[in-house]
Amino acid sequence: MSDEQAKKKFIYLNRRAPYGTIYALESLEVVLIGAAFEQDVSLAFIDDGVFQLMNNQDASATGMKTFAKIYRALGDYEVRKLYVEKESLEARGLSVDDLMPITYEDEDEDYAQKPSIILVDRSEMAKLIVDQDVIMSF
């Protein structure tokens, strides 16, 4: 069995708002650790987790440091699949245009910039989750 076949698929479910608790930051830290160990890492943003990807975040009122810019570096760690549930966005009056632009460089296509955010509906999200080897919820 090759290394690629042996690689387990991990999905990190992000369900909470980015500030006010430590869940979002801890999820991001665990994702970076997993990526450093070359796991096949995906992130899913559901419910209030969609707020983690909002553009122009300012956490100063919460007394926490804004960490949203770290999401833009995920492509450098081979984390290229950020699934956002369409229904969660809509329920919060948001669209994909409200999210920060997160891209990665596709070395197979002359380092073309490609979007990391993938909008999926609830049934597609359920299929993605079922297809994973490890599911971690934050």
Write down all domains in the chain, each with its CATH number in brackets: 3-137 (3.40.1260.10)
**Res 7: pLDDT:** 83
Model confidence pLDDT, tens digit, residues 58-91? 888 888 888 888 999 999 999 999 999 999 999 9
**Res 4: pLDDT:** 54
**Res 6: pLDDT:** 65
Q: Is the pLDDT confidence value at 122 over 80?
A: yes
pLDDT grade for 53, boundaries at 50, 70 and 90: very high
- Note the pTM of the prediction, 2 decimals: 0.91
Helix, strand and coil percent figures for the chain, each rounded to 5: 45, 25, 30
pLDDT grade for 1, boundaries at 50, 70 and 90: very low
Query: What integer is the mean pLDDT of 115-132?
Result: 97
Q: Is the pLDDT confidence value at 124 over 90?
A: yes
Mean pLDDT of the chain: 92
For residues 53 and 45, is the Cβ–Cβ distance under 8 A? yes
Of the candidates 68, 80, 89, 73, the one whose C-alpha atom is nearest the C-alpha of residue 115 is 80
